Amino acid sequence: MQVVQGGKAERYYPPIKYREAMAFKEEYDKTGRTTVYTTVSGAVEVKRNSDKTNPNIRVTAIDDNYLDLRSIKVDSGRAFSAAELQYGNNVCIIGQDVVEALFGPTESPLNQRVNFFGSPYTVVGVLEKQGGIGGGPGPDRAVFIPLENGIRYDRRGTFRYSITAAASDPLRMDYEMGQATGLMRKIRRDAIGDSDSFEISKSQSVAESLNEVAGYLRLGGFTIGFITLLAPPSV
């Protein structure tokens, strides 16, 4: 199958499945750090008692490394525990827009229950306020849930799973891109001599966090991002 843009035929790349993303993570984690995550929905209404947010909250299912590799800080409470991640418990970490909509100015959201997707979730953490990033809402309008919890909503297998891997050194970027390509070709079972069944491109941009440079490898509509911290992030 092909798609055509601007009169030029372009290759269609099949989605990266959950098992493929996890296979990449398992192998790459032997030498580096990766995170696998997926957007469950970008138009969620979160409720608590009679209060509710606008239906524009993004719910993302994440693993153990996501917050660290994406430089997202927890302001109060904590990140998910190993047990919560393993068993996919109904727990969540919420952004400041969600807090402001559902809780009073002196009320702590921690250990309180909120509802979305027709299920109750216990708040275990609150994200640091960040404001819009790149023209978008950023983490303020976010809710994070454990990856194993989020995949339960992927009943049709249509979710788009993304991978972010931390490069060991900015000078090794090209080498590690090659390693990532070879690993994904093996996972996707691309035959020798055939072109990649996914697309990789790299771009460099200065991230909002100080002293952080991010390089992104895009695989068939899903992103593998190599993030290099040049200095410890500011606290």
**What is the spatial distance between Cα 199 and Cα 206, in angstroms, rounded to a whole number?**
23
Lowest mean per-residue pLDDT among 50-54, 124-128, 176-180 = 176-180
Most confident of 74-83, 185-194, 210-219: 74-83
Q: Which of 43-47, 50-54, 130-134, 231-235 has the lowest mean pLDDT?
A: 231-235
Tell me, what's the pLDDT at 133? 52
Q: pLDDT category, 160, cuts 50, 70, 90?
A: confident
DSSP string of 181-214, one letter each residue: HHHHHHHHTPPTTSPPSS---EEEEE-SSTTEEE
The secondary element (H helix, E strand) that includes residue 36 is: strand 33-44
Distance, in Å, from the CA atom of 225 to the CA atom of 230, rounded to the nearest integer, reads 16
Kindly tell me if the per-residue pLDDT of 198 is higher than 90.
Answer: no
pTM: 0.79
Share of the chain above pLDDT 90, in %: 46
pLDDT digits (tens, 9 = 90+) for 205-223: 323 332 333 444 544 444 4
221 vs 75, which has greater pLDDT?
75
pLDDT of residue 212: 39
Specify the 3-state DSSP secondary structure of 159. Answer: coil
| Contact (CB, 8 A) for 122 and 111 | yes
Mean confidence (pLDDT) of the chain: 80
To the nearest 10 degrees (0 to 180), the angle between helices 173-188 and 18-28 is: 130
Q: What angle do CA 158, 159, 164 make, to 5 degrees?
A: 145
Are 54 and 65 spatial neighbours (Cβ–Cβ below 8 Å)? no
Query: pLDDT-derived band of residue 77, with 50, 70 and 90 as boundaries?
Result: very high
The mean pLDDT value for 43-50 works out to 97
204 or 144: whose pLDDT is higher?
A: 144
**What residue ranges do the domains of the chain occupy?**
2-35+157-229, 37-153
